[in-house]
Every structure is written in structure tokens, then in C-alpha cells.
Amino acid sequence: MSVRVALFGTKFMGKAHSQAYRNVNMYFSDAPEVEMAVLVGRDPRETEEARKTFGWQEASTDWKAVMQRDDVDVVDISTPGHMHAEMAVEAARNGKHIICEKPLANTLPEAERMLIAAENAGVKHFLMHNYRRCPAVAMAKRMIDDGRLGRVFHFRARYLQDWAMSPELPRLWRFDKEASGSGALGDLGAHIIDLGRYLCGEISEVCAATETFITERPALDGEGKKPVTVDDAVVMCVRFAEGAIGTLEATRFAAGRKNHNTFEINGSKGSVVFDLENLNNLQYYSTDDDIDAQGFRTIICCASTHPYGGHWWPDGHIIGYEHTFTHSVYDFLKGMESGHRVRPDFEDGVLNQKVLDATEKAAETRAWVKTD
């Protein structure tokens, strides 16, 4: 089986997804063969350059035309969030399987439209929450599914970065609600909401506060200042449908935290802790250990016994950030082959968006809000 892919987007995510297509067959011998057919961008020169650098066969700036090509099996949407809906609907209409970068969309109605379009078209749809496929995160999931953590009491997660702390930083599109939907909430919070749902089940209700620490920034065109219309940070309390409670936090104002996407789960039989800055490691505590020898242990999840293990390098030879995309593409390809559902998909995207919406509403109304 060979799969021809068209990728829409040439920037950070375009690069990250490209390397996944480029390398998946080298490391995962049982995956269907990928052909990197077309790279689609806006600017002809930039797109051609990216095509060459990333290794695509063709470049194009006509996204609708590419959607209609018969020789494309999978469409990968790695454009900014406000373009996702239109593109995904078009892809579905043309019967293409879809991989979509997170967030699924900037609004809930858009997300729901995408889900319906994909379902109606009977195409495979997949949402790129790549962090589910850090081996250590997948290992945490295995432990929970095995019952090794028992009944889950607590989920606490935070995604902390610090790149927005300087008041001199201009008002990029990320500070503009029109373009980005929200700030730290949608950008970072969406990731930890996804991890929470993946590991602990649905979030049923939320209370929250959002804050914008720097309320105006130098305009990109150098002409004075413009208001920041998104949140710089968000704090949340949540309840899960299955009984756990949690705290979530996302910010761009945590000095020293570069990519600190971390969670801790406490269950009746043990706990796990993850931190994306050391993404190969999972900390694990088991109440089954000898009574005088209990403690949090650091599992380097790089052995053949671990999820996605044995495909890369020997034990203890760590992998990096981009490998999580390779794992995601691998699982998607296997799902295409088998016909099985591969998650997270657009339904997960819709459910994630409901939590984001509830969070914004909770912050506005200063009260707990249910997610459905």
C-alpha cells in the first residue's frame, strides 16, 4: 500500500509534519509507504524553497486545485487555525483522508462542521495532538489502561512558556483574537486539555481565570501600539466525568519555562509525572513496591518494551520533539490500512473545543461552567 500526501502549510508545523512523512518508512517498516506528493503554500518562491528543503515532489499555491487531484490520498492541514474549517470541508468533499494540526478550529461551530463533513464523507480524520505520542505519555496511558494507577483522583497539568514576557515584543498575530482565537488557552491549554481527556476521560466542568499581563504591544508596522486581545495566561479548576478533580494552567509568562508541558496523575495505586522538556522520561510511583522501597522512579521510555520502542535506537538513546509527529503519522497510516479509528480525531477536536469554550465562558461569568 502506498499513500500519496499533500501538505498544506510551510512554516513550523509544515516542517514538523514534513519530517514525519520523510522518515516514517525508515523507522517503521510495517507502515504503508508514503509519497510526499505536493506541498502547498501561499508564496510561490517560499513554497518552492520549502518543497526542496523538506523533500516534496511538487509545490503548489493553488490549494483548491490540489484538493481535487486524484493522485492525492491524504490531505494534511498545517495552516493557521482560522483556515482549517474551509480546507477540511473541501478535503472531505473530495474524499480525502485528513490530518489536521491542532487546534481543530478557532470556534466550536467550525469544529463541528469539520467533524460532520468528514463523517459524512466517510474519510479518515485525525487531529495532530502529537504529545499523546511521546513514548512516556503513551506509557502513562498504558499504565492507566492496565489499572496500574487504580482509580484516578487527580490530574494536574501545566503548559508553561516564557517567550512573551518582553513588553518590546511586537503585537504578532498570536496576540490578536481575530487571527488566533485565543492566547495561551488555545495555543497551550488545548494541549493539556487533550492530554487530560486522553488519560483521565472527559472533563465535565470548569472554572477559570484568564489574564493579560501586557495589554498593548508595539504594532508590527512600527506605528505606535496596538491592544493585545487574547489571554497571556489561564488558570483552571476542572472536574472529570469519572470523578477526578484537576488544575490546569497555561502561560507565556513563566520565566525559565521554555516548553514545560507537564502533568501529574495520582491514582489509588500509583502516580505518574511527565514533563515535555524531558519527554523520554516518565516518573512513576507504585504502591505495590516494597514498603521500605517506594519512591518515584524515572523510566527512560526508550526500550523495546515501551510504546514505539525498538524502532529508533537502543535503550537509553533518547529521541526528540519531532519524533512524536512521526509516531502520529505512523499510527494514522496503520489506521488507514486497518480501517480502525485512530485518535485523537475530529470528534476529539470538538470535545476539546467545548472545554475551551467552557473555559472562556467560566472566566467571563466568574462561575463554574459545564462543558456540554
Instruction: Return the residues of window 253-282 that contact a copy of itself according to CB under 8 A.
Output: 253-260, 264, 266-271, 276-279, 281-282
How far apart are CB 148 and a copy of itself at their closest, in Å? 8
* Minimum distance from residue 229 beta carbon to a copy of itself (Å): 18
Stretch that binds a copy of itself, among 99-107, 117-125, 321-329, 343-351 (CB under 8 A): 321-329
Angle between helix 323-338 and helix 12-27 axes, rounded to 10 deg = 60
Any contact of residue 297 with a copy of itself (CB under 8 A)? yes
305 binds a copy of itself (CB under 8 A): yes
The answer to whether residue 317 forms part of the interface with a copy of itself (CB under 8 A) is: yes
DSSP 108-140: HHHHHHHHHHHHHHT--EEEE-GGGGSHHHHHH
All residues at 6 or more sequence positions from 68 whose CB lies less than 8 Å from its CB, including other chains: 94
Spatial neighbors of 314 by CB under 8 A, at least 6 apart, are none
12 binds a copy of itself (CB under 8 A): yes
Residues whose CB is less than 8 angstroms from the CB of residue 221 and which lie 6 or more positions away in sequence, other chains included? none
Q: Which of 85, 233, 336, 351 binds a copy of itself (CB under 8 A)?
A: 233
**Do 286 and 294 form a contact (C-beta atoms < 8 A)?**
yes
**Cα–Cα dist 57/63, whole Å:** 16
Q: Which parts of 16-75 interact with a copy of itself (CB under 8 A)?
A: 16, 18-19, 22-23, 25-26, 29, 53-55
Residue 250, interface with a copy of itself (CB under 8 A)? no
Contact 82, 324 (CB under 8 A): no
- By C-beta, is 120 or 287 nearer to a copy of itself? 287
195 belongs to the binding site for a copy of itself (CB under 8 A):
no
Footprint (CB under 8 A) of a copy of itself, residues 79-118: none
- Nearest CB to a copy of itself, comparing residues 150 and 335: 150
Q: Which stretch binds a copy of itself (CB under 8 A): 67-75, 177-185, 190-198, 243-251?
A: 243-251
Nearest of 372, 324, 192 to residue 265 by alpha carbon: 192
Q: Does 159 bind a copy of itself (CB under 8 A)?
A: no
Could you tell me the smallest distance in angstroms from the CB atom of residue 340 to a copy of itself? 23
Residue from 90, 249, 347, 360 binding a copy of itself (CB under 8 A): 249
Q: What is the DSSP letter of 263?
A: E
Neighbouring C-beta atoms of residue 206, cutoff 10 Å: 26
- Regarding beta strands 33-40 and 58-60, do their DSSP bridges make them parallel or antiparallel, or are they unpaired? parallel
Q: How far is the CB of 94 from a copy of itself (least distance, A)?
A: 29
* Closest among 155, 151, 154 to 268, alpha carbons compared: 151
Q: Count Cα atoms within 13 angstroms, Cβ side, for 251.
A: 22
168 interacts with a copy of itself by CB under 8 A: no
Of these, 141, 218, 312, 361, which contacts a copy of itself (CB under 8 A)? 312
Region 196-225 residues binding a copy of itself, contact defined as CB under 8 A: 207-209, 211, 213
Secondary structure class of 274 (helix, strand, coil) = strand
